Amino acid sequence: MTNTTINKIILSATTAMFLTACGSSGSSTPTASETASAKIQAYAVDGKKPKPTVADYAAVGIRVTNLTAMNALVDAKTKASEVDDKSELEALLASLTTDTTAPVITLIGANPQVLTVGDSYTELGTTVTDNVDKGLTATIDATKVDTTKVGTYTVTYSVKDAAGNAGTKTRTVKVNAASTQADKEAPVITLTGANPQILTVGGSYTELGATVTDNVDKGLKATIDATKVDTTKAGTYTVTYNVKDAGGNTATEVTRTVTVNAVQVVDATAPVITLVGDANVALKVGDSYTDAGATATDDVDGDITANIKDSAGVLNTATAGTYTIKYNVSDAAGNAAIEMIRTVVVSNQVIDNNTTVTDTVTGLVWDKNASDSGDCTAPKTEPTIEQFQTILDYTKGSQQGNDKLAVVSGFSLVSDDTRYQTSDGWKIRLKYGIVTQGEDAPKTICVDATNEAHPTLKALTRDAGTNEVTDLNTGLVWSDITIADAITLDGAKNACTANGGMRLPTLVELNTIYDRENKKTVTPFTNVHNGQHWTSTVAAADSKQNWTIAFDDASNGGVATRSGSIGGSKNNTDEAWYRCVKTK
């Protein structure tokens, strides 16, 4: 049995004993605690019963310091069962001791309350709310109001809750002179409803109205002029409101703006996404990739490119695979564009077959290791100069900033001074990227061209607007402008910097744009110059000199310059042609 149950039994018994003591049958004499509990319960049921005292509460174990407040809380109850337990009385006491919030008085009716001399004062009343106590009413003091005299008076409202927290409020009562006296105060017009009032062409105009208040006159109505409103035409119109009281006082004119808008056309047209660049992109593992993105236009919202959401972040060029980049956008009306897709295929250029390497781009199958010249056996042969170039990675060579070509991964070639023989008489020296004729070449690398795909080795495009040529193989962007004359190395460097922040190419980079078959700069360059061209590659033998390449068939230093190989090293006092480059 719980303590609460025990307490209720005891208190119920106490009630019975109290009734016995008051004249009911029974012979038991109640204890002081039982008598006090019965008295508290009786007061809760009927507030006219004797009020419990501090001693009564103490007899049931409740220490009360604010007797009036505690009795008010008990009196607010209506059933004996709500106070027949010590814990219930403790809860009332707790609410009493923790309530520090004053009750709030809210005025009913106008404030200020305006009367005329001779009128009778009618109290408009209030409401009272409290966080604990219910049914509180405010005490009203309107003794200062004198309706026989013009003046401004104050009515005071006060209330106190059971915890002793007091709340107050005042109302101003203004007693004006009778209308027969001089009235110099104009009425006031207040609009009701929206201002501006928004309509659509073809809609109907509905007057929203206004209210008028005056210090003397009651029930005044404003004169409304809405004759200028024309809902058949889009535009902005004005409605005027005026009124005059009995004393001849004219109110300040009030206006309402009525805006009639054209019929709105529902936007049901989706925006259009346009890919920038190719929809299909092929990359090699390890390549860097910057997505070209897309543009989006809408018939209503205009350019909404900035709102495009794409999935370019899924692309990982370190891992071979097919990646899909999706582009989506919606206009302000919620119309979604047709999704655009770019497919990016990342593949390994070469497949290592242990002793051979298959180039997935060209279809050529190469020996992984070099052989002595003349040792290739069918179906393998010595490669042509063009075939050999397909496995030279000019991009890596230029990125390293040295003067050695890099071979694509998977081969065992060494970038030393060894010469490699080709089938058409050319020799390649990887140390300096030299392509020569007439020298011994002890090594070669055998290739099986049975399944050769015959790729385009030079994939270049020229932009006539910028006078730039882009090499899609190397990723280099070349300047193709007319140069007046050969200049010094420092002059060439400065000229390239001034040309949009370009630079001089390395020896490896410059060697990629020489057409050996036709002994000239490769197509589609249009501004070509015969003679030595500067590179940024410093000569190994003399750090004060840089390598140049001769773009003609003249002899220079014993090297067959018609091959487009190194023409020799030149110091900073010599002059040569130049061509500027930048990385895409």
State the average pLDDT over residues 232-250. 92
**C-alpha–C-alpha distance, residues 551 and 549, integer Å:** 6
What pLDDT does 414 receive?
A: 60
Average pLDDT taken over every residue of the chain: 80
Residues 554-560: contacts with CB under 8 Å, at least 24 apart? 556/532, 559/434, 559/436, 560/436, 560/437, 560/438
Omega of the bond prior to 52 within 30 degrees of 0, cis?
A: no
> At residue 231, does pLDDT exceed 80?
yes
Q: How confident is the model at residue 564 (pLDDT cuts 50, 70, 90)?
A: very low
Q: Which residue, 368, 364, 363, is CA-closest to 383?
A: 364
Q: Could you tell me how far CA 339 lies from the centroid of its own chain?
A: 22
> At residue 541, does pLDDT exceed 80?
no
Output the six-digit token pair for 134: 């219910």
Instruction: Point out the least confidently predicted range of 89-103, 255-269, 306-320, 388-402.
Output: 388-402
What pLDDT does 235 receive?
A: 93
**C-alpha–C-alpha distance, residues 34 and 221, integer Å:** 70
* Sign of the torsion angle spanned by Cα atoms 180, 185, 191, 192: negative
> At residue 19, does pLDDT exceed 60?
no
What pLDDT does 53 receive?
A: 94
Which CATH topology does 104-176 take? Answer: Immunoglobulin-like (2.60.40)
Share of the chain above pLDDT 70, in %: 79
> At residue 158, does pLDDT exceed 80?
yes
> At residue 99, does pLDDT exceed 60?
yes
Q: What is the DSSP string of 172-228?
A: EEEEEPPTTS------EEEE-S-SSEEEETTPPP----EEEE-SS--S---EEE-TT
Helix (H) or strand (E) holding 469: strand 468-471
Tell me whether domains 104-176 and 460-583 share a fold: no
State the average pLDDT over residues 167-187. 83
Buried b (16+ CB within 10 A) or exposed e, 207-224: eeebebebbbbeebebeb
Domain ranges of the chain: 3-98, 104-176, 189-214+224-261, 272-347, 350-448, 460-583
| φ and ψ at residue 528, rounded to 5 degrees | -115, 155
Q: How confident is the model at residue 222 (pLDDT cuts 50, 70, 90)?
A: very high
Output the six-digit token pair for 278: 């190719």
**C-alpha–C-alpha distance, residues 327 and 162, integer Å:** 68
Cβ(547)–Cβ(561) below 8 Å: no
State the average pLDDT over residues 335-342. 94
CATH 3.10.100.10 fits 460-583, yes or no: yes
pLDDT in tens, 453-462: 654 445 688 8
- Name 469's bridge partners: 462, 478
The one-letter amino acid at 516: R
CB count in 10 Å sphere of residue 463:
11
- Name 325's bridge partners: 342
Give 49's DSSP letter. S
**C-alpha–C-alpha distance, residues 184 and 433, integer Å:** 106
**C-alpha–C-alpha distance, residues 100 and 567, integer Å:** 99
| φ and ψ at residue 72, rounded to 5 degrees | -65, -40
Output the six-digit token pair for 355: 């002793």
pLDDT in tens, 277-301: 888 887 777 778 889 999 999 998 8
For the domain with range 272-347, which CATH number is right: 2.60.40.10, 2.30.40.10, 3.40.50.300, 3.40.50.2300? 2.60.40.10
What pLDDT does 168 receive?
A: 95
CATH 1.20.1180.10 fits 189-214+224-261, yes or no: no
Cβ(529)–Cβ(577) below 8 Å: yes
Cβ(276)–Cβ(295) below 8 Å: yes
Cβ(476)–Cβ(511) below 8 Å: no
Q: Which residue, 113, 101, 178, is CA-closest to 140?
A: 113
In the numeric block, the tokens 């709500």 are attached to 82
What pLDDT does 438 receive?
A: 65
Output the six-digit token pair for 379: 């179906």
pLDDT in tens, 197-219: 999 898 899 999 999 999 888 88
**C-alpha–C-alpha distance, residues 496 and 581, integer Å:** 8
What pLDDT does 359 receive?
A: 79
